[in-house]
Amino acid sequence: MATQPKKAANDENRAGVAKEILERLSNELVFALVGPLGSGVSMAAELIREKLTGPYQYECPPILKPSDVIREKAPLIGAMAPKPQNSVSYVSNMQDLGNELRSKYGNNYLIEKTIEKMYIFRKDKGGYEGDVELPGRRAYIIDSIKHKDELDLLRSIYGDSLCVIGVFAPDQIRNKRLQDLGFPEEERVKVMDRDQGEVLTFGQDTRNVFVEADFFICNDRREMDVSEALDRFLELIFDISVRTPTLRESTMYEAESASAKSACMSRQVGASIVSSNGELIAIGWNDVPKFGGGLYNEDDRRSLDMQSKDFVDRDFRCHNWAGGVCHNDQNKERIIKQVVENVAKIEGADIEKKLAIEEAVAKSDVKSLIEFSRSIHAEMEAILSVAREGKHSLVGATLFTNTYPCHNCARHIVAAGIKEVVYIKPYKKSLALRLHYDAITEIPDEGGKVLFRQYDGVAPSIYFKIFLTPKDRKDGGKIVRRNRWEAVPVFRVPLDAKRDYEDKVIADLAQKEQVEGG
């Protein structure tokens, strides 16, 4: 009987420790936006700030813009920032200044100075008691980040409390917006000019950050639509009410989940297909096909041999077969060597010239060939899986994939009768639009073609964090309704570690500026 009070005391102590840890979790959030010129990133940033400072009762500094850092710090490189204007030359000049600052102070200088502003805001708002950070309803909105290094630094400091929002719009809409802003036609052409074999909407640096976003917003119609999308995202972040995945979100999650099954050494791609009435009818991933249908998988490593009754390894995927080499790369190198040898014979080239020929051929599109892979592509496998079952029609279906389809898959998609493709990541080698512009479009309002469009919604990477809530949905048999002004974020991190990282960034900044400034 004497152990009962001791157990109760231990339980109370554990509860006290748990409460103390919970009290040391931050309520702060950092929103970093990314998107191409004309997509509406600044408008989305202002809407987020308006909503957070309104019904959610968060304290927010003015929108944090790395371009402001460029203007403030240009004198450090002996320059003056140009006067803001709606022109490509202004954007180009600001980028040049930003690059010079990065060259002198490091790749992350602009975002480090932004972090410093966040630290100062928190301090000014009473976010510290001595050296101890205090919980507070504060949020910081960055418009916008452009480089993967900046994203990596923000994530290393703020972890799950960083919410990256990608904003996009089709090119013809962005073009009209730039026209309305006064961009001359020749400058709009420079902005809008994209390699037709790639996704039209984004420049490469922005794309590398964009595909890492936690939330994607399509800004192709009204500001009200963006506002409603942000309302939903914030309700999910704060777990305000019961929100479940849209069909697009759940199907893209299936595609991303399927990609994890791929053992391809080049890239892991997943695809899923929903019928014209919204039923999930197929998934696929890129891997080596096997006899009898389907693809090799992890279970084939331990297959029962019916004759010997022993378990044998029958996983013949590239990493586990014939020396573990990528056969696509191997064949491309073989072709390059053939071309070099044949040209060298004609030219009578010596070793130095042969090396120059090899370098020139290697820079050609030979390196982009995708014809020699043993793997079937994810989109093809998804389509074939429907054929194996023989239960569904693909006419009018929608295919979701985490990566823009290659031109090989594109022709199968068109022939299958699929009406729409939704993707997240670009694929530089794809010639889908160039080879099939008669049957494929990226323009939403262009009918009579398969529409390839960018995904919008919650990213698959945070699918479970957002939609599987640990909180009780009901109390006393009734739904629990949380007030926006007191709801806490789903994404919370310990207060203490963040401060340590920020201190390091700011200390490094001071040292760099002192050394460079003399």
Which of 278, 221, 225, 228 shows the shortest CA–CA distance to 249? Answer: 278
Distance CA 266, CA 257 (A): 17
- Decide: 94 and 68 in contact? Cβ < 8 Å: no
Which of 104, 97, 109, 110 shows the shortest CA–CA distance to 517? Answer: 104
Distance CA 237, CA 28 (A): 12
Which of 27, 479, 433 shows the shortest CA–CA distance to 237? Answer: 27
Per-residue H/E/C for 346-411: HHCCCHHHHHHHHHHHHCCHHHHCCCCCCCECHHHHHHHHHHHHCCCCCCCCEEEEEECCCHHHHH
Taking the model in full, what pTM does it have?
Answer: 0.84
DSSP symbol at 327:
H
* Distance (Å) of CA 317 to CA 289, 292, 296, 402: 9, 15, 7, 21
Distance CA 418, CA 399 (A): 7
- Decide: 378 and 283 in contact? Cβ < 8 Å: no
Establish how many alpha carbons lie within 13 A of residue 436's alpha carbon, considering only the half-sphere containing its beta carbon: 24
Would you list the DSSP string of 38-53?
A: TS-HHHHHHHHHHHHH
Q: In this predicted structure, what is the pLDDT of residue 195?
A: 28
Distance CA 261, CA 270 (A): 8
Torsion angle, alpha carbons of 429, 434, 437, 442, to 10:
50
Q: In this predicted structure, what is the pLDDT of residue 191?
A: 63
Distance CA 136, CA 138 (A): 6
Residue type, 358: E
Tokens, residue 410: 């594109």
Which of 408, 404, 396 shows the shortest CA–CA distance to 436? Answer: 408
Distance CA 82, CA 98 (A): 12
List of the chain residues with pLDDT < 50: 1, 9-10, 12-14, 17, 194-201, 203-204
- Decide: 493 and 160 in contact? Cβ < 8 Å: yes
Q: Work out whether strand 440-441 and strand 450-454 pair parallel, antiparallel, or are unpaired.
A: parallel
Q: In this predicted structure, what is the pLDDT of residue 498?
A: 66
Distance CA 294, CA 447 (A): 34
* Distance (Å) of CA 253 to CA 229, 230, 273, 281: 19, 20, 12, 14
Instruction: Report the run of H or E that residue 226 belongs to, with start and end.
Output: helix 223-237
Residue type, 61: P
Q: In this predicted structure, what is the pLDDT of residue 503?
A: 77
Distance CA 75, CA 69 (A): 11
Token match 């099954």: residue? 261
- Contacts with 395 (C-beta within 8 Å, 6 or more apart), sequence order: 276, 416, 417
Token match 């053992």: residue? 263
- Decide: 431 and 407 in contact? Cβ < 8 Å: yes
Torsion angle, alpha carbons of 327, 332, 333, 339, to 10:
150
For 115-140, write each residue's pLDDT tens digit. 999 999 999 999 888 877 788 899 99
